[in-house]
Amino acid sequence: MNILIRADSSSIIGTGHIMRDLVLAKQFRDADILFASQDLDGNINHKVIESGYKLNLLKSNDIEELSDLIKKESIELIVIDHYGIDTEYEKELKAQNPTLKIMVLDDTYEKHYCDILLNHNIYADEKKYKNLVPKGCELRCGAKYTLIRDEFRKEKKKKTSTLYNPIKTIFLAMGGADTQNLNPKILKILQKFENIKAVVVTTTANKNLQELKKYAKGKKWITLHINSNRVAKLVRKSDFAIITPSVTANEVYFMQKPFLAIQTAQNQKEMYSYLKKNGYSVMKKFNAKKVKDAIAKIKEIELINFVDLTLEEKKMILEWRNDDSVKKWMLNQEDITLEEHLKYIESLKSSKSKLYMAVKKEGAYIGVIDFMAIDFKDSSAYFGLYANPFKKTKGAGSTLQETCIKYAFDILKLHKLKLEVFSNNERAIGLYKKFHFKEAARETINDKEIIYMELRNEDRKF
């Protein structure tokens, strides 16, 4: 089959159309594929050539020029990924080429005259296309059709270190063209924090690239990646991402990384609305204070593995655990000796199924979280937590619970988190329900009723 992909890129348009079309092109196996693009300022047409596809440079977006190319190359299917081509253009193209099949990529629920419509974004709802496309049009909408580059699928399978690192890596990608020139503004905010590394991804389509290079020069905490082929790896190794609610959001969402999405273009409004509705961190426009607050939030929590604690810190944890307000909610309610405590912590060094961590907030110890029966094959684990009984910190329970969930799903890459709780521990049960844990079973042990609860990654709300 002869297929023509019509898409442009530039410092104004951006680079997302070409990048996702290169992913789509791989799905047309054994087809003869030709890209048709204009030679606009700041384009990434070279990506098409580098990917092994033929490229025809158009002089304009004129329908006659495109129709002539279709006839010349005996095109059977045209893929249109272009905001400058509307339903009337598509109708005329069909009229001039009656046997031509038209496939359109759409992000914003526009009217189209096509045989196939693809909205590959995670927010896409095919019901919204009623009366926007012909009756016989095949609709391909939602996460099932999301165009994810192979590099992301490969990187997601790789394990990320579970060791706590006080230096946080921020993945920053304000679009290949960064039309609002936000990269330097965000970097200036990040510079105010200690122990921050910034990984900035951009392209030669960025008309402010020289300004960005000048700002990054000499700053060891900034690494600039231009036209990078390692984006997936950079996302995997990061702790937090600052992105636009665009194609990049599909990819970061796929990699299950926490992020802040800042809308920079009108065509991002649907993704913005979807993310906001589902509890993700978003901004309708850039706000320096909100960006600063988002970074402060990820910096305020520190996790220290029990095996890395000093002797004094280990004794402190033991004192917490043996306090009546803590141990009364445990299956083993006997006091633990220092010798037993230290021996158990030593055993954690060789354990692959157990992980215990002390939690600090703004420099002060607020409690403990632990993971037991970690099973990477089953992608599940049990967890426990308790707050520092000698220092009441407002919201400590919620902070510890949120930290558990994020660590289990974002770092350990588990799919299910499980817990056991006494049925009379109403306060704890209320906390778990707040974070959408659901009851799975009940049983009685030593005359005490135990409730088993669980949370799946897809049911989390942050």
- The answer, yes or no, to whether residue 339 has pLDDT greater than 60, is yes
- The answer, yes or no, to whether residue 330 has pLDDT greater than 80, is yes
β-strand pairing of 101-105 with 77-81: parallel
Q: What is the pLDDT of residue 157?
A: 87
Q: pLDDT band at 165, cuts 50/70/90? A: low
What's the rounded mean pLDDT across residues 440-460?
94
Q: What is the pLDDT of residue 164?
A: 57
Cα 360 to Cα 165, 384, 396, 460: the distances in Å are 13, 16, 10, 23
Q: What is the pLDDT of residue 160?
A: 66
What's the rounded mean pLDDT across residues 379-401?
93
Rounded to 5°, angle at Cα 455 from 240 and 253: 30
From-to residues of CATH 3.40.50.2000 in the chain: 150-299
Q: pLDDT band at 300, cuts 50/70/90? A: confident
Q: Name which CATH class applies to 301-459.
A: alpha beta
Considering the chain, what is the average pLDDT of its residues? 94
Q: Name which CATH class applies to 2-145.
A: alpha beta
What CA–CA distance (Å, rounded) separates 316 from 388? 10
Q: What is the pLDDT of residue 392?
A: 81
Cα 161 to Cα 138, 170, 358: the distances in Å are 43, 16, 18
With pLDDT > 70 as the criterion, what percentage of the chain qualifies?
A: 98
DSSP per residue, 363-417 = TEEEEEEEEEEEETTTTEEEEEEEE-TTS--TTHHHHHHHHHHHIIIIIS--SEE
Q: Tell me, what DSSP letter sits at residue 128? A: G
With pLDDT > 90 as the criterion, what percentage of the chain qualifies?
A: 87
DSSP helix/strand/coil, 217: coil
Question: 29-61: per-residue pLDDT in tens?
Answer: 999 999 999 999 999 999 999 999 999 999 999
Is 38 within 8 Å of 6 (Cβ atoms)? no
DSSP per residue, 240-276 = EEEE-SSHHHHHHHHTT--EEEE--SGGGHHHHHHHH
Q: What is the pLDDT of residue 163?
A: 57
Q: pLDDT band at 161, cuts 50/70/90? A: low
Question: 362-381: per-residue pLDDT in tens?
Answer: 778 999 999 999 999 999 99
Q: What is the pTM of this model?
A: 0.69
Is 148 within 8 Å of 177 (Cβ atoms)? no
Q: What is the pLDDT of residue 312?
A: 94
Question: 79-125: per-residue pLDDT in tens?
Answer: 999 999 999 999 999 999 999 999 999 999 999 999 999 999 999 99
Marked catalytic residue, from 17, 82, 112, 120: 17
End-to-end CA distance of the chain: 44
Which positions ≥6 away from 278 have C-beta within 8 Å? 461
- The answer, yes or no, to whether residue 428 has pLDDT greater than 60, is yes
Q: What is the pLDDT of residue 302?
A: 84
Based on the residue annotation, tell me whether 46 is a catalytic residue of this protein. Answer: no
* 150-299 has CATH 3.40.50.2000 classification: yes
Amino acid at 30: D
Q: pLDDT band at 341, cuts 50/70/90? A: very high
From-to residues of CATH 3.40.630.30 in the chain: 301-459
- The answer, yes or no, to whether residue 167 has pLDDT greater than 60, is yes
Amino acid at 418: K
Tokens of 9: 């890129």
Question: 230-267: per-residue pLDDT in tens?
Answer: 999 999 999 899 999 998 999 999 998 889 999 999 99
Amino acid at 178: D
CB atoms within 10 A of CB 230: 14
What's the rounded mean pLDDT across residues 173-192?
96
